Chains A and B, each alone.
Chain A
């Protein structure tokens, strides 16, 4: 991001994939940037419209089976997101949006559906629905504190050699093999659904750092911290 310009957030397909308060990720990024004096401009891209290539951070959320399939078809046909990622844009892909990034995911009847191939992962349908709180220890290389959030999905995701696990689960299901989410370059995917960044401001700051290329001054984390502490205490087994 050039130093004198605004940070451009691009929210992909809120009309299809915005089921669980996914807007929260947009609002948290906007707030954390603005409170540090970084001007922000947010573009909402409806599924009938082209995805702009010039964004700094792209966000894509969760949704039902049918909208997920429609979103994958349209993103593949459009190509804008692929060009943006090739250009070095950052992205957070959540739940159904995370699965779409891989080579394949499970459709309405569990049938394999083509993803858009931006992450080296393949997803399918698991046996039981994973619903509940999730806690996971983040890859130390990222410098992001313990992940906390809520998952609600039937997906099982296999990570290929082109990605690294975002974290290792302590409570919850995540990818289904003891890991949760993944990342490659500046693209992050996670099963923490909806407003994942609200309980993980460190992950929000990682995306902002990637996008701005600068160290961020500290922010007032009072309410973020209180909520994180309360949730982690409620979910983690007593010591």
Chain B
């Protein structure tokens, strides 16, 4: 890649120094502070760092970090890849990621949904990956219909190749102004934010599926859906699901030539199979065929602590992160039904200070297994479970909940800061 101007080189170097200091003093992983220092010294730094690289931007409500990791893994087959692996997904994190891999010809950047228009514009990225949009931390996040509208404006008239989930009506609407879109049928278990047409407000019909009210099961097994259920069309206007060229079909991906590839990835659950199909479609946009990309996806075991196991006194706790109702629905799909489960909920700034979303999650699937409730907002969750007739035990802390288990395995679902607290107390294995 071409040389950065002197000022940008200096800004980038000072940013890396700040990041190193941050790590050395135990303040963080350094990816935000380093980028902030760099951006303060050279506001145009991100544009300059992005120049002459082949970049993919990854955005969604859920699965950004994991999909970024999967795509990065695949593209490493082609060469060095710069990436914000730790989820620092705003411009400071992007500067940090690109300046710490200055010579990498490829870049895969996770981007916060709100920042996507700005980052598309600044970086001039050629590939944009859009997976899902659903309600999330609404005391601070933008309303998702407005978000999709901003995506439409940002993508219109731009020479980009979008990889988008055709099963999510709002994502489809947000992506469909782009000149070139590869549509992927990646599924959409959480449908509560898309019973109405984003184009005209009319009712969206789904083939073989009557309207299911919030809290109702879409099919017998939550998280599972058939191809017919993924189809949708507006009853009142011409907006409908575009024909997908890639399809997630159970355990397999079907590519545009109709070839079926058993995914067999190590990351658990339906959501990760969806992320994997998206990653395969993205790899192909970079010229990397499935036979080279898929083995690299299979190497990924854990992403920024998600799905890792922490251990204490013979209890092995597998950690699942779920930040919003759609995320909890996908996490339930990963749970081992034979194991007890510990649920931990906080409501700090990064979680959203409003716990209303707990009422959008259908906890009834937890009936019949031992459930332990902890976290700073455990009483909100306790009442929610009580109303859902799910028996549970209230615990003062995660440590107490873990100690209450018999030796062996237990599953844990926690929201963002609750998850981070568990990781920092019980080990930050990545």
Residue ranges of B at the interface with A (Cβ–Cβ < 8 Å): 135, 138-140, 143-146, 192, 195-196, 201-203, 211, 213-215, 235, 353-360, 379-380, 382-384, 386-388
Contacts and interface: CB of A to CB of B under 8 A. Distances in A.
A21 B359 contact: yes
A18 B192 contact: yes
A230 B357 contact: no
A152 interface: yes
Given A18-B192, A47-B196, A66-B145, A23 B360 contact: yes
Interface residues of A, number: 37
A226 B144 CA distance: 33
Nearest to A70: B201
B382 A24 contact: no
A194 B379 contact: no
Nearest to A34: B389
The secondary-structure label for the interface of chain A is mixed
Contact of A227 (B195, B211, B356, B380): B380
Given A20-B356, A21-B359, A31 B387 contact: yes
Nearest to B145: A64
Contacts, number: 97
B195 to A, nearest CB: 4
Given A23-B214, A223-B382, A152 B139 contact: yes
7 contacts: A16-B196, A21-B356, A31-B387, A46-B211, A64-B143, A152-B354, A223-B382
A64 B146 contact: yes
B252 to A, nearest CB: 32
Nearest to A63: B143
B138 A18 contact: no
Interface in A193-239: 193-195, 198, 222-224, 226-227, 230
A24 B356 contact: yes
Interface in A122-169: 131-132, 150, 152
Nearest to B358: A21
A15 B387 contact: no
A19 interface: yes
Nearest to A48: B203
